[in-house]
Chains A and B, each alone.
Chain A
């Protein structure tokens, strides 16, 4: 969503984030909120536009892929400079890509693993040689793996780049006070500096939604990121504030432990609980849930019901729209439990995070599945503890969500592949594995859509990850701020922002 009223030059914008970002090093960064800060200072080879389509940013054009899908060539934007004055060229891109792939502790390593070789074949031409056809690559290069870091700064600071980040972007890094603020100011070296209006941007972590809203009202903040529906509702009554939203590429749901006995990345084993033993019990559980009602009760209808890993927002979206999700059917659920021969009520524990919203999700689910014969107990668990426990397989059901990736592969492979890096459910299905592999290697969008459609249905039938809803990214901003761009990746783009005349 964009706002294109004309703006005047000058001024500083203060943006509230819902938590403090981690390292400001594109190779090591792992948090969602960090991506918002990068959006102000580190451009990527590719970006997405308002419609979710990939467009060139630091690359001069979309990549050329060879017929076998194993050689990818692209040109780099001419005349661009990093914030420290170093010129952007093909060598710089290669240096960054290899660092992303190889640096110990890199959070980009897995995404770039198929890249065997990266070389500069001309001053502005980069050629990548892949181990196998890897269609999600362009989507990957439209995220942090596509951020190019100044080779001069990398050489000078090494691992300490995080305290002196230097990229190509509308704003350059000035200072960071941990837990308090990250300050950026306009970069005169930026190739498109004429269209940057603000003098600077300050990002402030403010975890509490009430406090964020109070500060937006008082005018101490101009933009609030990731606002919860309840805060959005009350912000709407404020004449000084405006609302932006974009559908998310991610999903929220619940994960059922169907075979995680040895922890993440291990082969699934047998678990002797009714929900793990019998798929009919899991189907009954899902049939007892009313997604529309959940959305209405907990999120004031401001999110979207969902029943698959890939958002309708995605460029390659299978044909399962929110309205096609399975309807609640308590009678059928009861029948299934009877067929499965389990003693009712079936006792299940749901681990939720400790946020009020997740608590309410748990309570609503508890009430819904009770009617079908489940006794759902809730265990709110602090985030890091929940991750540790669910990764280890120490749970029945937990709330499981993902912020989403541009390419559908980013929403399925790690989660659903047998022994996948984030398959905490212990799901192991050769058919799903096959579809994931196909989806990564087939270039034709129409065929990919078909593959992901089949994959979605197969995942639905397994009932190991029950998708419930998709969040929307809500951004609240002062009415005097224009030129903000909020797209499907949920990031706030401040490049063209400014104060209205």
Chain B
């Protein structure tokens, strides 16, 4: 197990390094000078030159990369060229928002998706399956932006149960926090819930027709024990795989969701940084997101090996 973990960890670090190079080069390949993006309509040559100089944009790209990595390793992510605020602060403020949004969406996707998937498999050929399938199809097809606006119109304006925008930390006011986070979580989680539902249903159908389930039934076990203890447990490997793969979607989907609900998370930070060519912020954000991605994949692998020891043995060989 330890050897397996170390191998995976080493691979992750190499990936992270490669990502940092690609991100750094990619951002600099974008057309448009950050000084110009910052100055906008008022661009005196002196001010532009001073901005370039103060952020070291005139230096050789290799020098810039070395400086970036050197600072990043010591925890210094630089200063935003737009606001003059430390990037680490901006990330520190944005991270909890996106994590909470992702966690809530994931929770929603797991509860609704697995629940509906199990129901659809167990009640195969009945109206319940039909309804679950239809909802999943809708969940997959609705564009995030549209769903967001509709939910705001419905549940924040017409019937003001939830708030249309903004973020209040859970620690400050849990009720207000949930009032603001429920709609975004639904928007972000709906697509994922649909995917999870379909995967659960498919895996459950396989399991339910397998020999061991027939044996379990023959032994006289209750329906709940057969479904929950035998069929579902064996279906979960597939579902966890899908969840792991889809977590990436949560992070990228957060970009749109955060725009609609004006949540000051990673997605919003990224978009703002792209449009203002805020190199320092953009690099840091993409690097952190990549690190999160890699970490999630690592965790998924670990969870696999816990659910199904055969995977661990295969990886260690």
Which of B30, B38, B83 is within 8 Å of A176, CB to CB? Answer: B83
Q: How far is the CA of A106 from the CA of B54 in the complex (A)?
A: 12
Q: Does B167 contact A (CB under 8 A)?
A: yes
Q: A376-389 CB contact bits vs B (8 Å, 1 = yes)?
A: 00000011111111
Q: Which of B37, B153, B259, B262 has the most CB of A within 10 A?
A: B262
- Cβ of B136 to closest chain A Cβ, rounded Å: 28
A104-B54, A387-B32 known; A214 vs B45 contact (CB < 8 Å): no
Q: A183-208 CB contact bits vs B (8 Å, 1 = yes)?
A: 00000000000000000000011111
Q: Would you list which residues of chain B between 242 and 286 have a CB under 8 Å from chain A? A: 259-262, 264, 268-269, 272, 275-277
Q: B138-167 CB contact bits vs A (8 Å, 1 = yes)?
A: 000000000001001100110010011111
Q: Does B211 contact A (CB under 8 A)?
A: no
- Cβ of A467 to closest chain B Cβ, rounded Å: 15
Contact yes or no, B47 A215, CB < 8 A = no
Q: Does A179 contact B (CB under 8 A)?
A: yes
Q: Please, which residues of chain A bring their CB within 8 A of the CB of B164? A: 211, 214-215, 217-218, 220
| A20-28, A54-62, A439-447 - the one binding chain B | A20-28
Q: A412-442 CB contact bits vs B (8 Å, 1 = yes)?
A: 0010000001100000000000000000000
Contact yes or no, B149 A214, CB < 8 A = yes
Contact yes or no, A179 B259, CB < 8 A = no
Q: Does A32 contact B (CB under 8 A)?
A: yes
A23-B83, A177-B264, A214-B156 known; A106 vs B47 contact (CB < 8 Å): yes
- Cβ of A315 to closest chain B Cβ, rounded Å: 22
Q: Does B125 contact A (CB under 8 A)?
A: no
Q: Does B42 contact A (CB under 8 A)?
A: yes
Contact yes or no, B43 A421, CB < 8 A = yes
Q: Would you list which residues of chain A between 159 and 185 have a CB under 8 Å from chain B? A: 159-160, 162-163, 176-181
Contact yes or no, B262 A206, CB < 8 A = yes
Contact yes or no, A218 B93, CB < 8 A = no
Q: Would you list which residues of chain B between 81 and 104 have a CB under 8 Å from chain A? A: 82-85, 89-90, 93-94
A179-B90, A220-B166 known; A384 vs B32 contact (CB < 8 Å): yes
Which of B44, B90, B269 is within 8 Å of A421, CB to CB? Answer: B44
Q: Does B80 contact A (CB under 8 A)?
A: yes
Contact yes or no, B40 A179, CB < 8 A = no
Q: How far is the CA of A408 from the CA of B21 in the complex (A)?
A: 48
Contact yes or no, A30 B38, CB < 8 A = yes
Contact yes or no, B51 A105, CB < 8 A = yes
Q: Does B41 contact A (CB under 8 A)?
A: yes
Q: Please, which residues of chain A bring their CB within 8 A of the CB of B173? A: none
- Cβ of B275 to closest chain A Cβ, rounded Å: 7
Q: How many residues of A contact B (CB 8 A)?
A: 56
Q: Please, which residues of chain B bring their CB within 8 A of the CB of A264? A: 45
A30-B38, A179-B264 known; A388 vs B83 contact (CB < 8 Å): no
Q: Which of B40, B54, B272 has the most CB of A within 10 A?
A: B40
**Chain A residue nearest to B271 in the complex (CB):** A207
- Cβ of A265 to closest chain B Cβ, rounded Å: 6
Q: Does B221 contact A (CB under 8 A)?
A: no
Q: Does B31 contact A (CB under 8 A)?
A: yes
Q: How far is the CA of A204 from the CA of B44 in the complex (A)?
A: 28
Q: How many residues of B contact A (CB 8 A)?
A: 52
Q: Would you list which residues of chain A between 262 and 309 have a CB under 8 Å from chain B? A: 264-265
Contact yes or no, A178 B83, CB < 8 A = yes
Q: How far is the CA of A16 from the CA of B37 in the complex (A)?
A: 21
A107-B39, A109-B46, A264-B45 known; A163 vs B85 contact (CB < 8 Å): yes
Which of B34, B41, B85, B259 is within 8 Å of A403, CB to CB? Answer: B41
Q: Does A453 contact B (CB under 8 A)?
A: no
A22-B82, A23-B83, A385-B32 known; A179 vs B165 contact (CB < 8 Å): no
Q: How far is the CA of A25 from the CA of B43 in the complex (A)?
A: 16
**Chain A residue nearest to B261 in the complex (CB):** A211
Q: How far is the CA of A20 from the CA of B37 in the complex (A)?
A: 13
Contact yes or no, A218 B264, CB < 8 A = no
Q: How far is the CA of A445 from the CA of B97 in the complex (A)?
A: 55
Q: Please, which residues of chain A bring their CB within 8 A of the CB of B276? A: 384
Contact yes or no, B41 A32, CB < 8 A = yes
**Chain A residue nearest to B91 in the complex (CB):** A178
Q: Does A123 contact B (CB under 8 A)?
A: no
- Cβ of A399 to closest chain B Cβ, rounded Å: 12
A30-B47, A178-B83 known; A215 vs B40 contact (CB < 8 Å): no
**Chain A residue nearest to B264 in the complex (CB):** A180
Contact yes or no, A391 B36, CB < 8 A = yes
Q: Does B33 contact A (CB under 8 A)?
A: yes
Q: How far is the CA of A475 from the CA of B54 in the complex (A)?
A: 36
Q: How far is the CA of A31 from the CA of B275 in the complex (A)?
A: 14
Contact yes or no, B264 A384, CB < 8 A = no
Which of B30, B84, B149 is within 8 Å of A162, CB to CB? Answer: B84
- Cβ of A469 to closest chain B Cβ, rounded Å: 16
Q: Please, which residues of chain B bring their CB within 8 A of the CB of A53? A: none
- Cβ of A142 to closest chain B Cβ, rounded Å: 16
Shortest 8 CB-CB contacts between residues of A and residues of B: A105-B50, A384-B32, A180-B264, A384-B37, A218-B164, A162-B84, A385-B32, A385-B31
Kindly list 14 other residue pairs between chains A and B, CB separation below 8 angstroms, not including A105-B51, A105-B54: A30-B42, A109-B46, A160-B84, A178-B93, A214-B149, A214-B152, A218-B160, A218-B164, A264-B45, A383-B40, A385-B32, A391-B36, A403-B41, A414-B44
Interchain Cβ contacts under 8 Å between A and B, 10 examples: A22-B83, A104-B54, A159-B84, A179-B269, A204-B166, A215-B262, A217-B164, A220-B156, A385-B30, A387-B40
